[in-house]
Amino acid sequence: MSGDHTSSLISARVRHVEALLESRGLLAAGEVDGRIDEFLAGGTPANGARIVARAWLDPGFAGRLLADANSAVREVGLSMAGGLQEQRLKVVANTAAEHNVVVCTLCSCYPIALLGPSPGWYKSEAYRSRVVRDPGGVLAEFGLQLPAGTSIAVWDASAESRYLVLPRRPEGTGALTEEELAGLVTRKGLIGTAAV
Amino acid sequence: MSTGTERFLPGDRVRTRSLDPDGHTRLPRYARGAVGVVVEAAGRHPLADDRARGLTGEAQPVWHVRFAAADLFGSGDHTVTVELWDDYLTPVEGS
């Protein structure tokens, strides 16, 4: 369940099955690649940034987002249904007392339909194995020093839910528009390896 | 999501099984045989272990279960919340 799969037995098997399906006319040539491209094109970290900016400006939306993220993201025109089936989205909010960080220790589960492909480091064995044991050390390597007394909650995406971190709104941003606020949010912030 | 028949409620203490299965499982090795607290329900899904064997089991509850790092690794003051199928869990009496 780890590492690079491109040269593995399962990859060869998948390519063989794809070729058989194409040769029997069940699948158009390139259809799988097309569907994957379509799936990935809909996802971008900008979607997550929009969700965060709305949550910062609208406490009601933030509450709905934490209670039932799948319903709440539809309010801003987004969906977790971009794949074969709708995946459950769980949003976890950073507070002054607790910082959240997301990992998939078993493979590389990530809200692709919403955020697009995950960064390479998210899939690395180093990140996946170390962040559950020493999240403070890993976050420090990312340049994130949490204030003393902040506890860290690690979320392991070991089943069917996908996760999004709701960062804390930076101080001094009271005058910014929703779009400007969204511009502050990074992909690392949405995973929890950056403050915002 | 509750059907009223689930075994657990948020706040319940549960122990994960310590079995090392031959095939695929989604109970991470570091969380085996550990005691944690149910945070909330995470929907219902067929057991991943069965699906990996080509079996289509009935959907069962999946839970967010929070562990103290010290209980998993012997040190650390953070928490790790893992998403676990009902089959992986047994209630801890007296919780």
CB contact under 8 Å between A158 and B45, yes or no, is: no
A117-162, pLDDT tens digit by residue? 899 999 999 999 999 999 999 999 999 999 999 999 999 999 999 9
pLDDT score for B95: 55
B15-33, pLDDT tens digit by residue? 999 988 888 999 999 999 9
CB contact under 8 Å between A152 and B64, yes or no, is: no
How far off is chain B from A102, nearest CA to CA, in Å? Answer: 10
What is the mean predicted confidence (pLDDT) over A96-124? 94
- The Cβ-side half-sphere exposure at A110, using a 13 Å CA radius, reads 25
Question: Using CA atoms, how far apart are residues B17 and A173, in angstroms rounded to an integer?
Answer: 48
CB contact under 8 Å between B26 and A133, yes or no, is: no
Query: Domains along chain B?
Result: 13-91 (2.30.30.50)
What distances in angstroms separate CA A152 from CA A27, A137, B27, B88, one per listed residue?
A: 47, 11, 21, 25
CATH class for the domain made up of A43-191: alpha beta
Q: Which residues of A lie inside 8 Å of B (Cβ-Cβ)?
A: 1, 88, 90, 105-106, 132-136, 151-161
Which residues in chain B (58-87) have CB-CB distances under 8 A to chain A?
Answer: 62, 64, 66, 69, 72-73, 76-85
Q: Supply the pTM of this predicted model.
A: 0.88
User: Which band of pLDDT confidence, cut at 50, 70 and 90, is reported for residue B1?
Assistant: very low
**Res A14 pLDDT > 80:** yes
Domain boundaries, chain A: 9-39, 43-191
The contacts of residue A44 (CB under 8 Å, 6+ apart) are A115, A116
